[in-house]
Amino acid sequence: MKFIKGVTFAPFVPKGHLGTEASNKSLKVMKEQTGADFVILAPAGIQATPISEEIDFSSDATMTDEELIKTIRYAKSLGLRVALKPTVNCADHVWRGHIHFFDIDVPCEPKWGNWFLSYTRFQLHYAKIAQEEGCEMFIAGCEMVMTEIRENEWRKLIADIKEVFKGPVSYNTDKYQEGHVTWWDAVDVISSSGYYPKDDWETQLDRIETVVKKYNKPFFFAEAGCMSKEGSNKVPNDWTIQGELDLKGQAEFYESMFAACEKRDWVQGFGLWSWSEQLKEQEEALKDSGYELYEKPAVKAVKTFYEKNTIG
């Protein structure tokens, strides 16, 4: 697998935000500032709660197919490779990792079977677009931790996707979960979310390496990032952390992550989190304490690493 110098662009944006002059400008600037050659697009499917069976991807909360296709084509015109990662979120703001149902079907209660039927429709809709538009990868969801125990359903889903999409298929498990997925042999590429503490990368990479060697599959971090907020580089997965603006701390996270990963030739890239479809004024961007990279010192660390690209 060619090394992935990637960024996640405009994740989960609602209708009307992509395929515009502003979003195209932002995508172009993303490539220029980061040195990326790969972009991950993540259309959102919405279910009401973690125990809802139906996933809606036709409302105003989801980018339209036309907007997505325009963005794929523009990204390709810039020389970017493209991956689609359709991702479910809950309307009640409970994290998708908590989506779960009774292991045994109970009358009048939500059921795994019904949910997987809906999830499969959601995934296959975008797998068809990915195939028709020549995307380089399809990632069958993100951080669905409590669903991952349903091995048979996931194997069937991956097989169904491969009937539609002929490129490499991956799945983005959550941080610390790499060793708990029992069906990695079904995918072409293993991926996970690299939100590990700045000073703990070596330990976590040792752990992940055993999984990669066991399954002998390519691996990359489909997400990885840190907020520019004090304390975030110690718990980069915690988006609720409170702290003062810390641009230096965010940059240090990236530097530590890259330094650790470039010593492991099995780490074959990143889909860094994240880049907005709407560029802010420089002064405003430098006051942002979230995961955004635009104009911050961290983006220089990204570009230096991506242009160096001594691994993979």
Domain containing residue 184: CATH number = 3.20.20.80
d(CA 211, CA 192): 12
Looking at the structure of the chain, the number of domains it has is: 1
- Going by C-beta distance under 8 Å and a sequence separation of 6 or more, which residues neighbour residue 262? 305, 310, 311
d(CA 7, CA 74): 15
Whole-number pLDDT of residue 309: 74
Domain containing 243 equals 4-308
Q: pTM for the complete prediction? A: 0.98
Whole-number pLDDT of residue 312: 44
Q: What is the dihedral of CA 174, 177, 182, 187, to 10 degrees?
A: 40
How many residues in the chain? 312
- The one-digit pLDDT tens for each residue of the chain (312 residues) are 999 999 999 999 999 999 999 999 999 999 999 999 999 999 999 999 999 999 999 999 999 999 999 999 999 999 999 999 999 999 999 999 999 999 999 999 999 999 999 999 999 999 999 999 999 999 999 999 999 999 999 999 999 999 999 999 999 999 999 999 999 999 999 999 999 999 999 999 999 999 999 999 999 999 999 999 999 999 999 999 999 999 999 999 999 999 999 999 999 999 999 999 999 999 999 999 999 999 999 999 999 999 987 554
Say if CB 230 and CB 245 are below 8 A apart: yes
